Structure 1
Amino acid sequence: MSLFQGLTFLTTVNDLKALPPDGLEVAFAGRSNAGKSSAINTLANHTRLAYVSKTPGRTQHINYFDFGQLRRLVDLPGYGYAAVPEKIRLHWQGLLGKYLETRPNLIGLVLIMDSRRPLTELDRLMLDFFMPTGKPIHCVLTKADKLNNQEKTQALRTVKKEFADYPHITVQLFSSLKKQGVDEVEQVVGAWFAAAMATEQDEEPMDGE
Structure 2
Amino acid sequence: MDKFTKITGVAAPLPLINVDTDMIIPKQFLKTIKRSGLGVNLFDEMRYQDDGSENPDFVLNKPAYRSAEILIAGDNFGCGSSREHAPWAIKDFGIRCVIAPSFADIFFNNCFKNGILPITLPQEQIDMLMKDAEKGENARMTVDLEAQTVTTSDGETFPFEVDAFKKHCLLEGLDDIALTLEKAPAIQSFEAQAAVSRPWV
Could you say whether these structures have the same fold, taking a TM-score greater than 0.5 normalized by the shorter chain as the test?
no
Instruction: Calculate the TM-score normalised by the size of structure 1.
Output: 0.30
Structure with more relative contact order (C-alpha pairs < 8 Å, separation 6 or more): 2
The structure with more radius of gyration: 2
